[in-house]
Amino acid sequence: GAGVSQSPSNKVTEKGKDVELRCDPISGHTALYWYRQRLGQGLEFLIYFQGNSAPDKSGLPSDRFSAERTGESVSTLTIQRTQQEDSAVYLCASSLAGPYNEQFFGPGTRLTVL
C-alpha cells in the first residue's frame, strides 16, 4: 500500500517568504508527527497530532511555525517569514493511534532558504 508522502520534495525560497509543506499520512493512521532534521543531526520534534485531540505543539521553535491537520488526513506545516536557519529537511511520520507505535516516515521536504 501507499506510504507517507510529502510534497514538495525540494523547496528553495528567499528569506522572508512563507512556505507550506504538505504531508499525506498512511490511511488509517490517526497519529501524525512533524520533525526537522538539520544536516548531519538528529530529528527535532516539532508537532504531534492524534485524532481530534489538541495537537502537541511543544516542539515548534517559534511562532513563525504552525501546522494544521484536517481530521485524520493531510497535514500542512507552514513557516512564515522564513530565515536561513530554517533550512533543513522536514520529515513527516504517521502511526497507528498513540505515540508508542512504529512510525512510518515520508521522504521529507528539503527546504533551502537563501
Partner 1 sequence: SQQGEEDPQALSIQEGENATMNCSYKTSINNLQWYRQNSGRGLVHLILIRSNEREKHSGRLRVTLDTSKKSSSLLITASRAADTASYFCATDGGFKTIFGAGTRLFVKA
Q: Which is nearer to partner 1, 23 or 82 (CB)?
A: 23
The reply on whether position 10 binds partner 1 by CB under 8 A is no
Least distance in angstroms from the C-beta of 102 to partner 1: 4
Angle CA 38–49–15, to nearest 5: 40
Binding mask 19-58 for partner 1 (x = CB under 8 A): --------------x-x-----xxx-x--x-x-----x-x
Least distance in angstroms from the C-beta of 31 to partner 1: 9
What does the alpha-carbon distance between residue 6 and residue 110 come to, in Å, rounded to a whole number? 10
Please provide the DSSP assignment of 83-97 as one string: -GGG-EEEEEEEESS
Least Cα distance to 96 among 13, 43, 27, 44 occurs for 27
- When binding is defined by CB under 8 A, the residue of 18, 99, 112, 114 that contacts partner 1 is 99
